[in-house]
Amino acid sequence: MHCHAYPRRSAEIVNQRLAHHGLAVPVIPAFDADAYVATLDVAGIDMAVLSLPGPSPDSLPTPADRLRFAREVNDLYAMAVARHPGRFRAFGRVPLVDGEAAALELRRIVVELDMNGVTLPTNVLDRPLDDPQFDAFWAEADRLHATCFLHPLNFSCSPMLQAYDLLTRIGWPADTTLAVGRLVLSGHRDRFPNVTLLISHLGGMIPTYLGRLSWATGAPKCARDPEHYYRSFYYDTAGEVRAPSIRAVCELIGIDQVVYGSDYPFGQAPFNGVPPASRMPPGSIFGTTLGAIDALDMPDEAKDKIRFGNAQRLLDMAGSR
């Protein structure tokens, strides 16, 4: 449920940024459907849901640029699904900063291209997802019963987070928690209850701080206990998480809400005290989290819910609009 696919130009930009972190490039391959299928075969993966993280298209300069980029990504994914219908599903992208255009492209994604939902950044150029500017998009997402896959993103922050890749180590999980917390406490989920949220990387800090996030302080506007909403979301296992962390989310949120995600093609080689010169072999990235799921002290039937059962239910929900 968390498998990234970059158009060629996007892959080039990401590789340029990764080079500044001491990583050998190219790290991120440009998306090729046949090559991805070959990698899935090696890893023993039946189906992957394609997605594009990052700020684009919202960071592009004009509405026309933003819509053009989003449509190119969505058409690329639609062609991949059509070429390999048993191997791919996809979450599209919309120019969220352009509310009405985002709503129209979401409708095209869901109705015309028959995709399973849309990927959203956890902030839109430093603006929260519950900003009224985005209400037109959320209203259409609610009408379509859309699935929204929330993926973290860089944001304006303290210089202290710029060193040691702390922005992605700490800032991204924090921004995920902040984004979802605002959607819950602002009453946004009550206004748009038909939207299904899939939260990446085991929900950032949400499972650990579930009790604290449900405090009654701060005059929350949600109609029900905040914990009710957090338990309704889906959480993926991407990010090289470990078995105890997965088990904790299963116990705190519920095993029916946890889905397998790899974060392909990203993956970190074990730290050996020197700057990383390379990343893990592509196929092994899938196995890292699958190994953690295998290590869970629970029946195989329960593990299968995480491996594929819960994802199948989520995709079936998206396909029954």
Q: What is the pLDDT of residue 163?
A: 84
- CA 309 vs. chain centroid, Å, equals 18
Domains of the chain: 3-318 (3.20.20.140)
Q: What is the pLDDT of residue 272?
A: 57
Q: What is the pLDDT of residue 21?
A: 62
* Ranges of H-type helices in the chain: 8-19, 33-43, 63-83, 99-107, 135-144, 166, 172-185, 188-191, 210-213, 226-230, 243-252, 282-294, 300-304, 310-318
* DSSP-derived secondary structure for 220-266: ---SS-HHHHHTTSEEE-TTT--HHHHHHHHHHT-GGGEE----BT-
Tokens representing 51 are: 């997605």
**Spatial contact of 237 and 195, defined as CB atoms under 8 Å apart:** no
> Is residue 26 reached through a cis peptide bond, with omega within 30 degrees of 0 on the bond before it?
yes
Q: What is the pLDDT of residue 41?
A: 94
Backbone phi and psi for residue 50, each to the nearest 5 degrees, phi listed first: -75, 145
Backbone phi and psi for residue 116, each to the nearest 5 degrees, phi listed first: -95, 0
Beta bridge partners of 236: 259
Q: What share of the chain is helix, strand, coil (3-state, %, to 5)?
A: 50, 10, 40
How far apart CA 293 and CA 44 sit, in angstroms, is 15
| Identity at 234, one-letter amino acid code | Y
Q: What is the pLDDT of residue 56?
A: 80
How far apart CA 127 and CA 123 sit, in angstroms, is 5
Q: What is the pLDDT of residue 206?
A: 96
How far apart CA 78 and CA 81 sit, in angstroms, is 5
Q: What is the pLDDT along the chain (321 residues), one digit of tens a residue?
A: 999 999 988 888 777 777 766 655 557 788 999 999 999 999 999 999 999 998 789 999 999 999 999 999 999 999 999 999 999 999 999 999 999 999 999 999 999 999 999 999 999 999 999 999 999 999 999 999 999 999 998 888 888 888 887 888 888 899 999 999 999 999 999 999 999 999 999 999 999 999 999 998 999 999 999 999 999 999 999 987 899 999 999 999 999 999 999 999 887 665 555 555 455 666 677 888 899 999 999 999 999 999 999 999 999 876 655
Provide the 10 A C-beta neighbour count for residue 54.
19
How far apart CA 246 and CA 311 sit, in angstroms, is 15
How far apart CA 106 and CA 142 sit, in angstroms, is 11
Q: What is the pTM of this model?
A: 0.93
